[in-house]
Structure 1
Amino acid sequence: MLFNLLLFKRLCTQLCFLGLLFLIFQSCRKIESNNKPFITSATENNTVRLDGPPNIVIVLGDDIGYEIPTIDGGSSYTTPNIDQLARDGIRFTQCYASALCSPSRVMLLTGKYNFRNYTKWGVLNRTNRTMGNMFKKGGYKTCYVGKWQLDGGDTSIRTFGFDNYSVWLPYYLKPEDAGGTRYKSAPIYQRGAFLPPEATKDKYSVDLFTDYALNFIRTNKQSPFLLYYSTPLCHVQFSPTPDDPQYATWDYTKSSKRFLPGMVKYMDKHLGILRDSLRSLGLENNTVFIFLGDNGTTKGVISTFNGQPVAGDKGATTTFGTHVPLIVTWPGHINAGGVTSQLVDLTDFLPTLSDITGVPVPGAFGIMDGKSFYPVLTGGNTSSRDYVFNHFQPLISPSNKIPVRYVQDSIYKLYDDERFYNMVLDIKELSPIREDSLTAGERAKKEYFEDILEVMHK
């Protein structure tokens, strides 16, 4: 009896020891699993990628000049989500686009100045390659949402590397020829065909584009992705958004500037929706989020900027025609609340994104004009860019053979017709500096700009 009791105690001790070993083993397995690149929540199929190449989200505002966001000094509009984006990342005070959307978008997508590849308004020749091609070749899922206006429909969109898309104006047409408006009941093009009219009737295009973008993000949360969101806001026609009581009855062929503040607010709202979605999916910390404008604010729009009235100058190569907001966030990599005066132009994004992600620019892309500003994002050295160049010839035709070409930095600008301005003292470019009044420093700067203009040609 005593023997059996001792044997029972020994057996209990061994079982307890084995149980303890099992618990330790399971604990180690749990710790090991938490170090893997993916985690899974209690919800089935809610797996997200935590490391590896970062996702890229680009939101391109249409006709959003530098004076629009509150964080940049504007006070005519409400932009809490843009402002928060700046507080969470880095804000650039010296980013310059072209003066109109089509030339700007070609530069942004290809990393090249317009004299190399811009041939016609609203058309991107299919011999070009874009950041979409670069990221697709690098293993990314790619998506283009919003205003296309680069012609070619499904063939061009896929040729340029975007496998997923929901766009307005897929072909080279005047907007009034496209049927409907860019906002309410807009003709939306997906998978090589326009959606049936009943699918878009009385719906706001931005809502449909954002829904498509959110679905793309959710579907591809386990893979690195590029989302290029070219919002139609805030281009004319200035008109009510779904948050305005006039939405149901407004004639969208008409335009009224009184609706612009509401349109800016709606654009800002959808930027917040995108960020909230990334956050809720656990993707925010591994996503580079970029907001910028494509050119200056529409002519005739008066906004208050740093306490002074400013007139939008879209279409002109002045500061208020080309100066655009740029904000970049990447939690854990970019320090929050940064502000930089580093010069940036729209050719710089393709090489910068290559450096951020480690996805190489294919050699077949040829000459790249962009300068990477990746070091600026991470607090290192400045970019090698110390000037901005522009070759502006938006409507190439027999009657418009002479482009406007210029070089500038944050103070001085030289046109190839020898007009030389101090833009701090003469922001509207009304009085060129006379040759006989140049200081030694100004003369050296002008000669440097002349050398740049000399080599920037076909």
Structure 2
Amino acid sequence: MVEQRKQNIILILADDLGFECLGCYGGKSYNTPNLDAMAASGTQFTHAYALPLCTPTRTQIMTGKYNFRNWKAFGILDPNEKTFGHYMQHAGYKTCITGKWQLWSYNPPSFEPEWRGKGMLPENAGFDEFFLWHAGHTEDKGSRYADPLIFDNNGLRRDTKGKYGPDLYAEYLLDFAKRYQNQPFFIYYPMALTHGPFMPTPDSPGWIENRHKGNVGNFKCMVEYA
């Protein structure tokens, strides 16, 4: 009997993006043709629950547990937890995470200081490779968008000046998928978009001169870039 090849899996999580923003859920305020096309050709949930903040959303989906069972603090993933990365590694998948981490430490000194640096590092979360914003405990976590502060398995990247974080995260995803196309892989992409600060995208007018200037009016561009 021939063993069936494991399917490759790419899981994409948009950060702080409400369903009402998407055309496939009846939204009229933003143009989201690519996501609408994916919904039309795949399976679309019509009844689901999500958390209103980024940390509880990501800790819940990564562990498969309700937050009352594993919540520690904002910006923290309990280092004793097992993530889907661990389970996918055990199942024989090559694993990768690219995008946003912010689960090892939350920086403001006034915010639950007893948890500073007490969460889970990406290299301990079941991922063979990572390419992430806010991967470690840095007092200044840097930009996730223009000129992003990104860490990978080898440390701080020095080649991000003049670039846009979401483009780099997506490029790393595609590169990983190409490198491991002949074996089962699992890629988790917790996006930076559309979480604040609300910054211009490369599609925004005046991107070069305004790329570090936040304005809530940029949210539309962020949704459509995602």
2:189 is aligned to 229
2:222 is aligned to 263
Picking from 175, 191, 208, the partner of 1:248 is: 208
Give 1:178's aligned amino acid.
Answer: K
- 1:15-94 paired onto structure 2 within 5 Å: 52-94=5-47
1:208 is aligned to 168
Distance 2:85 2:147 in 1: 28
1:416 is aligned to none
Picking from 122, 131, 146, the partner of 1:166 is: 131
Post-superposition shift, 1:150?
0.7
Give 1:65's aligned amino acid.
Answer: G
1:338 is aligned to none
Give 1:190's aligned amino acid.
Answer: D
Q: How many residues align?
A: 212
Give 1:141's aligned amino acid.
Answer: K
Q: TM-score, normalised by structure 1?
A: 0.44
Picking from 156, 161, 177, the partner of 2:121 is: 156
Say whether the 8 Å CA contact 1:123–1:172 is kept in structure 2.
no
Distance 2:125 2:28 in 1: 38
Post-superposition shift, 1:98?
1.5
Post-superposition shift, 1:245?
2.9
1:421 is aligned to none
Partner SS state of residue 202, structure 1:
coil
Q: TM-score, normalised by structure 2?
A: 0.88
Partner SS state of residue 259, structure 1:
helix
Give 1:165's aligned amino acid.
Answer: F
Does residue 182 of the first structure (1) align with residue 147 of the second (2)? no
Distance 1:200 1:173 in 2: 17
Picking from 55, 77, 86, the partner of 1:133 is: 86
Distance 2:121 2:160 in 1: 24
Deviation per residue, 1:200-245 (Å, 9 max, x gap): 1110001111111111000010111111011101111212211223
Distance 2:121 2:144 in 1: 20
Deviation per residue, 1:130-176 (Å, 9 max, x gap): 000000000001000001011179x72122100111000113557xx
Give 1:60's aligned amino acid.
Answer: L
Distance 2:170 2:150 in 1: 13
Distance 1:145 1:194 in 2: 14
Aligned alpha-carbon RMSD (Å): 1.9
Distance 1:60 1:251 in 2: 24
Say whether the 8 Å CA contact 1:150–1:172 is kept in structure 2.
no
Post-superposition shift, 1:192?
4.3
Give 1:257's aligned amino acid.
Answer: V
Post-superposition shift, 1:99?
1.8
Say whether the 8 Å CA contact 1:71–1:83 is kept in structure 2.
yes
Q: Which runs of 5+ in 1 are unaligned?
A: 1-35, 38-50, 268-458
* Sequence identity percentage: 39
Q: Which runs of 5+ in 2 are unaligned?
A: 106-116
Say whether the 8 Å CA contact 1:107–1:114 is kept in structure 2.
yes
Picking from 196, 205, 218, the partner of 2:178 is: 218
Larger Rg: 1
Distance 1:91 1:258 in 2: 29
Does residue 194 of the first structure (1) align with residue 159 of the second (2)? no
Q: Say if 1:150 and 1:192 are closer, same or farther in 2 by CA, change over 3 A.
A: farther
Partner SS state of residue 233, structure 1:
coil
Distance 1:262 1:98 in 2: 23
Distance 1:74 1:238 in 2: 20
Post-superposition shift, 1:93?
1.6
Say whether the 8 Å CA contact 2:200–2:211 is kept in structure 1.
no
Distance 1:173 1:99 in 2: 25
Say whether the 8 Å CA contact 1:241–1:263 is kept in structure 2.
yes
Give 2:53's aligned amino acid.
Answer: L
Give 1:194's aligned amino acid.
Answer: L
Distance 2:172 2:211 in 1: 26
Post-superposition shift, 1:246?
1.4
Which has more strand, going by share of residues? 1
- 1:36-435 paired onto structure 2 within 5 Å: 52-151=5-104, 156-172=121-137, 177-179=140-142, 181-196=143-158, 199-250=159-210, 252=212, 254-267=213-226
Which has more helix, going by share of residues? 1
